Chain A
Amino acid sequence: MTPERRAPAQAPLIGPGHTLGTVTDRIAAVVLTAPTPRAWWVGFAVGFALLLVLLDAVAYLLLRGVGIWGVNIPVGWGFAIINFVWWIGIGHAGTLISAILLLLRQAWRQSINRFAEAMTLFAVACAGLYPVLHLGRPWLAYWLFPYPNTMGLWPNFRSPLIWDVFAVSTYATVSVLFWFVGLIPDLATLRDRSPSRIGRAVYGILAMGWRGSVRHWERYETASLLLAGLATPLVVSVHTVVSLDFAISIVPGWHTTIFPPYFVAGAIYGGFAMVLTLAIPLRRIYGLEDFVTMRHLDYMGRVLLATGLIVAYGYTMEAFVAWYSGSPFEAHMMLDRFGGRYAPLYWSLLLCNVVIPQALWFQRTRASVPALFAIAMSINVGMWLERFIIVVTSLHEDFLPSAWGMYYPTVWDWATFFGTIGLFTTLFLLFIRFLPMISIFEMRTLLPEAEVKEELA
């Protein structure tokens, strides 16, 4: 059989005819020698423009107050929290891929973990903005940290928002460490290959004197294993805590025990969708089809399918419990989602997150790059809608009908949302321009030469 006709699942994780040298050249070249493709410049221009929009929106926000957004009483949380949860969710895939798949010895992760981790960092960065910006008095955000102050006060440790502060900051820290440690060997490679003196100096400092000695490698392995061990529980904990922001409350539609697993699954779902969204154009633009192969895409498709089903289960249970609880408030919340003023959004959420992804059952879909891209996009949208439904519809018609109201986003809500997308794009493009987007040395280990022959040992 010729390679072409083999099912992606059996295809090798790296294109044929590669040697240690070619791998290194191809990946390093993107950063060091090859000319920056026009697509990069276009993307960067758009991203940076949106970033400026963000600055504008934030400046006006600080000047006037959160009243410029659509939030009100009863809907006290709007786009800010929706986007926060959305970004945090996206930030999940990276650590999952790097940490959990590393522990599970999933070799295929090695060609995608680098930029997946980068994606995580930048997504968390975007997410981190919102909880601060959505405060009525952002300049006092530091009051959420327990520090010895002249007021003799501590924060309220019963509040899930405090747990959030710890969960998210820990997650961010560990992700940065993990990502950086993983980078060190490649930074050394770049240091050694960089044509310019500055390049050598900068990469040199970052490489922290890596010489690739056996001792270095031995320590490196231990470190990354330890960090993986540290990061694994965080993957679960972060979104669990985020889900508690809602589950701890008494609001119908928030107050439910299924939220933690449901949120984590949703996060992985959304995260992998975003990895696909990024991987597909990248491999195309930089001609990395040999490294991010159809088999990778196929695997990610399967992950999407699996997590998608968990999420779908979550939706079902929400509806079931609303009926089973016998609580009129829960029941009304659900009926409102089905037929209320926000119903169209709810049904499009189901379409994007549940119906469309079912196409992934078919081998042919998973083998078609455009199809995968389309599905990934639909999931990105779907996950955002999910958070909108959770945040807004639960609040806008709760206990006292006299207090019911509607939430309409303002232009500033949108500006802030697209602004953070701009921030993300900008950071990500800078990353692929200046750092190897695929782990060079880990790719090397995938090569036939790298296989250790037992009998020699």
Chain B
Amino acid sequence: MPQIFHRSTNTLSRLSIFGALFALAALLWGIAAVNRSAYMTGQGVARVQPVQFSHKHHAGQLGIDCRYCHTQVETAAYAGIPPTQTCMNCHAQIWADSAFLAPVRASFRTDRSLVWQKVHVLPDYVYFNHGIHVQKGVGCVTCHGRVDRMNQVYRAASLQMEWCLACHRRPERYLRPRERVFDLAWRPRGDQAALGRRLVKAYGVRTRTDCSACHR
């Protein structure tokens, strides 16, 4: 009886059996990788804003404190995006006729808000409160990165749940003294773990991994 298949098909079939396993594994790994990629998280992706506001210039070079603009960050759930008024405090005098600032002046004149692109977006079912995090000694830089070095602000962290949990499970690894919260350049002198444990006690930090801490 004539052969239907060439001998080589034996090898092929053997390969295909094992190959399937590797292919599957690779696929799963791929999915996991994509989910954590910048494409999905938007990590490190700068957004184009209506006004080319540079945190690097204002916070970094001029050394303006975070709280000059984000006034409510210590007490409110939202850090607060400064009203046009705040910009005009300075830019009524400085760069008063810069083309860059035209939209700002327009907003102030027409009483129509500037519309910024949100960079740090959480899903609607996540309830984050800036005030309590500041109170418990979580530094701005811990979540937002070196904003004072960003011309255009981008997302420094993935903001994925596993990322939140990393700190909620082991806060001592990330805490800093309250007075250093707004100091983006601050580094722990000596052992962070020891300092962290001390602060956890001092600030009464609880590892809140209850779902109800963030989801309602």
Contacts and interface: CB of A to CB of B under 8 A. Distances in A.
A192 interface: yes
B4 A191 contact: yes
A296 interface: no
Interface residues of B, number: 15
Interface string A186-198: 0000011000000
Interface of A is mostly: loop
Interface string B2-13: 001100011001
Nearest to A192: B1
A148 B35 CA distance: 11
Nearest to B35: A150
Nearest to A208: B13
A152 B161 contact: yes
Nearest to B168: A152
Given A208-B13, A209-B10, A209-B13, A150 B1 contact: no
A457 interface: no
Interface string A233-255: 00000000000000000000000
B211 to A, nearest CB: 10
Nearest to B32: A148
Contact of A150 (B9, B28, B160): B160
B204 to A, nearest CB: 25
Interface string A124-149: 00000000000000000000000111
A46 interface: no
Interface of B is mostly: helix
B161 A201 contact: no
A152 B10 CA distance: 44
A153 B161 CA distance: 9
Nearest to A152: B162
B4 A200 contact: yes
29 contacts: A147-B28, A148-B32, A149-B35, A149-B162, A150-B35, A150-B36, A150-B158, A150-B160, A150-B161, A150-B162, A151-B160, A151-B161, A151-B162, A152-B161, A152-B162, A152-B165, A153-B161, A191-B4, A192-B1, A200-B4, A201-B4, A204-B4, A204-B5, A205-B13, A208-B13, A209-B5, A209-B9, A209-B10, A209-B13
Interface of A: 147-153, 191-192, 200-201, 204-205, 208-209
Given A148-B32, A151-B161, A191-B4, 6 more contacts: A147-B28, A151-B160, A192-B1, A205-B13, A209-B10, A209-B13
